[in-house]
Structure 1
Amino acid sequence: MNMSFSDPRTIGPRIRMMMPQLTPLEGRVVEMILGRRDFDETTALKSVAEDAGVSEAMLVKIAKKLGFSGFKDFRAGIADYNRLPTADLHQELSPDDSGAQIAQKVFRTSIHALEETLSILDPEAFERAADLIFAARQRDLYGIGGSAQIARDVAHKFLRIGVRTSVFDDAHMMLMSAALLTEGDVAIAFSHSGQTTAVLEPLELARKRGARTIALTNYATSPIAEIADVVLCSTAQGSPLLGENAAARVAQLIILDAVFAAVAQRDLKAAERNLAATMGAVKTKRRNT
């Protein structure tokens, strides 16, 4: 089934989200095309095939795998995407960059990730995630490595308004947590790739136990997205030095900031009351100047 690409802002993010469905060779071809700033409606199929070292038939196949009707449709979509004002925000780091240039490129990459993540945000999934978190009896958060740090940040935010969560970053502890969840509980899994088995397994178990499941990932077609009740997607372009995780982490934090605000809105009086209480509890820990 062809995917709708009516909004040019979503073209780059949606293509990147579908990259796990491609073979390594197909993925390299798509990365090459996305990296070409001169790619437009006049770019010939033959020249792209020659540059990529693949057949014209393979390019057509890749375009259809990505949800386009064919190469012409794919080419038009990429051309529209390249003309966006934000398209030039993402720039690769160079060994010759000054400190100011490095800072500028890193900031612009994060801004680009935020713009594109907002363009693909599913409003229905966002609202559903907020509803599930607000109504849950128990809220368990799962993540490994950098994803665990995002989970801890989220837990800190929610605690401030009296929404209690538990964070698990150990494979055994996550499975033990999931084994105790039931209907009325929610498990929230954080995985950039969506393929981390240490996070996938407890999320599957939590769902079998009757808990609702939420996944935050960079890839809408990843294994974690297939087993979650609600999927929230970030998107970010990678770079040789920073990878995708740096900018995607910023986007994921902002997604959860928005979810936090939506959860607080569901009982604003209680949120304000609890926020005042938690702020007052740590007030004495600040040194007066």
Structure 2
Amino acid sequence: MKPRNIIRAIENGRHELRKSERKVADFVLAKAEDVIHMRIVDLAQESQVSEPTVVRFCRAIGCDGFQAFKLALAQHVAHSPRYQQYRFTEQDSAHEYTFKVFDATMETLKRVRDNIDVGAIEKAVEALRSANRVEFYGFGASGAVASDAQHKFFRLQISSSAYSDPHIQAMSAMSLRRGDVVVAISQS
């Protein structure tokens, strides 16, 4: 079975790979665009492992073999350009730093999209949809996010509150009943 996002599968499963398979993983993560043009013998040589190790690596990350791995990698590279981390310099124009900020934001959003647990989202939506009362808890900078969420729910005419003080949050939590929902927000 081919993973949905091959790079994410490699990153997430890297710690479970054998030492020799990690060499292949590290090379692929560093040079994904080069790997799609390589033969198995080339990847083995560049990773300093044997060809059977490359095949074991492919199977360990959920691909049926080397060709299936290359296909998944090529699809990823074609549809998911990797944006560079941005650094501002004094020489940057407004045009350059605008693109740097947008590229970094798009990469972050893409990473979240690729890693999101849709089943958990569906459960959360159902809990919120059927809630008697929704309370948002956030502390520090997360308090502003909790207030914003409460404002959005209020506009949808859903009974909601937001608390940023931990003592008030504790008192509020003691008054919750069956069917009430707490959304705890932490940006850190």
Whether TM exceeds 0.5 here: the answer is yes
Partner of 2:70: 75
Paired residues for 1:133-172 under 5 Å: 133-141=128-136, 150-163=145-158, 164-167=160-163
RMSD value, Cα: 4.5
Post-superposition CA distance 1:41-91 (Å, at most 9, x none): 43234443454556655554443343222343222101112122x525x23
In structure 1, which of residues 105, 109, 112 is the aligned counterpart of residue 104 of structure 2?
109
SS at match of 2:183: strand
Following superposition, the deviation at residue 136 of structure 1 comes to 0.9
Partner of 1:242: none
In structure 2, which of residues 50, 71, 85 is the aligned counterpart of residue 92 of structure 1?
85
Taking structure 1 as reference, are residues 115 and 94 closer, same or farther at Cα in structure 2, changes over 3 Å only? Answer: closer
In structure 1, which of residues 42, 51, 69 is the aligned counterpart of residue 37 of structure 2?
42
**What is the TM-score with the length of structure 2 in the denominator?**
0.61
SS at match of 2:5: helix
Q: Give the aligned residue type for 2:162.
A: S
SS at match of 1:69: coil
User: Contact conserved, 1:155 with 1:165, CA < 8 A, in 2?
Assistant: yes
Following superposition, the deviation at residue 148 of structure 1 comes to 6.1
Following superposition, the deviation at residue 104 of structure 1 comes to 0.5
In structure 2, which of residues 8, 16, 19 is the aligned counterpart of residue 16 of structure 1?
8
How many equivalent pairs are there?
Answer: 182
Bigger radius of gyration, 1 or 2?
A: 2
Give % identity. Answer: 25
**What is the TM-score with the length of structure 1 in the denominator?**
0.44
Taking structure 1 as reference, are residues 143 and 106 closer, same or farther at Cα in structure 2, changes over 3 Å only? Answer: same
- Name structure 1 gaps, 5 residues minimum: 197-289
Partner of 1:183: 178
User: Contact conserved, 2:128 with 2:134, CA < 8 A, in 1?
Assistant: yes
User: Contact conserved, 1:143 with 1:189, CA < 8 A, in 2?
Assistant: yes
User: Contact conserved, 1:142 with 1:187, CA < 8 A, in 2?
Assistant: yes
Following superposition, the deviation at residue 107 of structure 1 comes to 0.2
Taking structure 1 as reference, are residues 72 and 46 closer, same or farther at Cα in structure 2, changes over 3 Å only? Answer: same
- Name the CA distance, whole Å, in 2 between partners of 1:51 and 1:174: 56
